[in-house]
Structure 1
Amino acid sequence: MKSLKKNHWTHAGRSLAMLCMALAMLAAAGAANAQSKVVGTVTHLSGLLTARHADGTRNALAVKSEILQGDTLITERETFTRVKFMDNAEMVLRPGTEVVVSKYVYEQDKPENDSVAIGLVKGGLRAVTGLVGKRNHDAVNFDTPTATIGIRGTNFGALFCQNDCGGVPTPSGSAPPNGLHVDVSQGAVILTNPGGAQVFQAGQFGFVANLNTAPLIVPPTQGVPVTMPQSISKNAPASGGASKASAVDCIVQ
């Protein structure tokens, strides 16, 4: 009798273990599928653009390459690129930029599920709001090393400097100080960090020195406009013989 009970519980334990393993495998598969979801496309490119995927693999991208949720996009020297997302939002990256597309959820008939999280690790970008930002602006955030940028239906630029912005043009002609610089062309953004929060309206410039310093509005004479070439009409191959930015009729403002 004891032997039967022992066998019964052993069998039950094995069944439970197998069930747990199956559930874990399903969860892992679901996470992998979520990370491999296509969320955008490279529409314009000048130079070398690389994607580091969530699984650690890397590959060079070209025009019409797909962007996956979880991808880290890396632009090399003299590389500009424009990405169009599934909700028609657009993002232009400067040379020497690293951006993580951490999350991009857009379902046309389910606005309550909207969620966009993009991280600017280094370099600079210019972003134009898509359908998510227009109908649910609280669902869109851009994280940076010094502050989180919330959008209010907008066209804005962000530049994070860490002794690498010497070539960026400024009104004074000197290199921008280290920290996060923003400018707003349309709409508004709100910058938030442990030091405080500040709303920036169209035409205003902002600066955040570090994570614990409150965002500041700065006058135009001290602001750093994150300018991009006007359009990209000549798309170079993603590797080998890539054209220089100076040779391109580049990007959106």
Structure 2
Amino acid sequence: MTKSYPPRYCTPVTNLVALLGLLLLSTVAWTAPEAIGTLAEAQGRVEINGTPMSAGAELRLGMRVVTGADGRAVLKFLDGQTVNLNPSSVFWIKNYRYAKDKPQDNRSSLELLKGGMRFISGAMSKESPEAIRIDTPVATLGIRGTEFTAVLGSLCLMVHSGAVAVTAAGKTLVANANQIVFVADANTPPQLVPAPELRAPCAPPREAGGAAPPAAVTVGCACRSLLTTAATGAGATSSTTAGTGAGAGTGAGAGAGAGAAAGGISSTTTAAVAAAVAGGAAALIHHANQDDPDASP
């Protein structure tokens, strides 16, 4: 009778060697996602995916950039597209691809979840502008070779150059250079803010011998509150001065307790507007005050 033996290749040692080989091959085959840009500047607390980062860090798909109350960040993408994040902001890089020789493959899908930013478009906006999309909690922005500032709370956006298509509640409004758009919430269509509304006091004048009546919260008043609160870092219910650092000089007291009126803005939205925190927007108010008083910004 012939005695049989198990095949030598089935021994525990050979199995372990084979397993290690497979692990090595998988490690070699895996590569980190390609860098799509850099954290060009970082001030104060800046985190990427929960880890504190400094200038020079690489940007990759899926990253979430968060700035603290003292933080600012400048994100520079491969096509030259730039995002300047304000303090207390959250920004998500959802999708990005730049193929200089294949513009049909270009795409940029970003989202501002909180705070504020200044966006400056790059080469992609010239080669394939329809490929660029920026989401916010209340509206979607389509870019048309653009530089703009956006502040959340509701949404107040000013176009510095080019044009931005703002879509909310199934309606799209195209804003051009020097125009300001306000979106109260995701269920409210976007609307242009007339220049006179940005200049007019938010509170009516006090009558002789009587108490001041409640302030009427117009669209211009609410948007100005967003911008000036952003620029000065004022508290949620304090009256801020639009001219801080910019010489505009009109009060912006749209407090959380003010009654909704001409602009059709609810008290909940007003509170959100007053609580918005982001930086660098005082120049927008100054610019509006320099325009023709009879013209829309």
Question: Normalising TM by the smaller chain, what interval?
Answer: 0.5 to 0.7
In 2, Cα distance between equivalents of 1:119 and 1:149:
10
| Amino-acid identity (%) | 31
Does residue 215 (structure 1) correspond to residue 190 (structure 2)? The answer is yes
Q: What SS is found at the alignment partner of 1:210?
A: coil
Q: Give, in angstroms, the shift of residue 195 of structure 1.
A: 3.7
| Residue in 1 that maps onto 2:167 | 192
CA deviation vs aligned residue, 1:34-79 (integer Å, no higher than 9, x gap) = xx33111111121011011xxxxx3211111111111000000121
| Residue in 2 that maps onto 1:204 | 179
Select the structure with the greater relative contact order (CA < 8 A; seq sep ≥ 6).
1
| Residue in 2 that maps onto 1:180 | 155
In 2, Cα distance between equivalents of 1:122 and 1:59:
18
CA deviation vs aligned residue, 1:100-141 (integer Å, no higher than 9, x gap) = 010110011110000000001000010100111121111000
Amino acid at match of 1:50: E
Does residue 45 (structure 1) correspond to residue 20 (structure 2)? The answer is no
Q: What SS is found at the alignment partner of 1:84?
A: strand
Unaligned runs of 5+ in 1: 1-25, 53-57, 162-178, 229-244, 246-253
Does residue 75 (structure 1) correspond to residue 67 (structure 2)? The answer is yes
Amino acid at match of 2:160: S
Cα RMSD for the two superposed structures: 2.3
2:94 to 102, 105, 114: 102
Q: Give, in angstroms, the shift of residue 194 of structure 1.
A: 2.6
| Residue in 1 that maps onto 2:119 | 127
In 2, Cα distance between equivalents of 1:153 and 1:71:
24
In 2, Cα distance between equivalents of 1:114 and 1:227:
34
In 2, Cα distance between equivalents of 1:118 and 1:104:
8
Q: What SS is found at the alignment partner of 2:156?
A: strand
1:139 to 110, 121, 131: 131
CA deviation vs aligned residue, 1:186-245 (integer Å, no higher than 9, x gap) = 0000011234110100000001111111000012312445769xxxxxxxxxxxxxxxx9
Does residue 111 (structure 1) correspond to residue 103 (structure 2)? The answer is yes
TM-score, scaled to structure 1: 0.66
Amino acid at match of 2:35: V
8 Å CA contact 1:75, 1:93 repeated in 2: yes
8 Å CA contact 2:168, 2:183 repeated in 1: no
8 Å CA contact 1:99, 1:122 repeated in 2: yes
8 Å CA contact 2:36, 2:58 repeated in 1: yes
Amino acid at match of 1:182: L
Q: What SS is found at the alignment partner of 1:70?
A: coil
Unaligned runs of 5+ in 2: 1-25, 199-219, 233-278, 280-297
TM-score, scaled to structure 2: 0.56
Q: How many correspondences in the alignment?
A: 178
Q: What SS is found at the alignment partner of 2:115?
A: strand
Question: What aligned pairs does 1:228-247 form with structure 2 within 5 A after superposition?
Answer: none
Larger Rg: 2
Amino acid at match of 1:203: N
8 Å CA contact 1:73, 1:99 repeated in 2: yes
Q: In proportion to residue count, which structure has more helix? A: 2
Q: What SS is found at the alignment partner of 1:69?
A: coil
Q: In proportion to residue count, which structure has more strand? A: 1
| Residue in 1 that maps onto 2:147 | 155
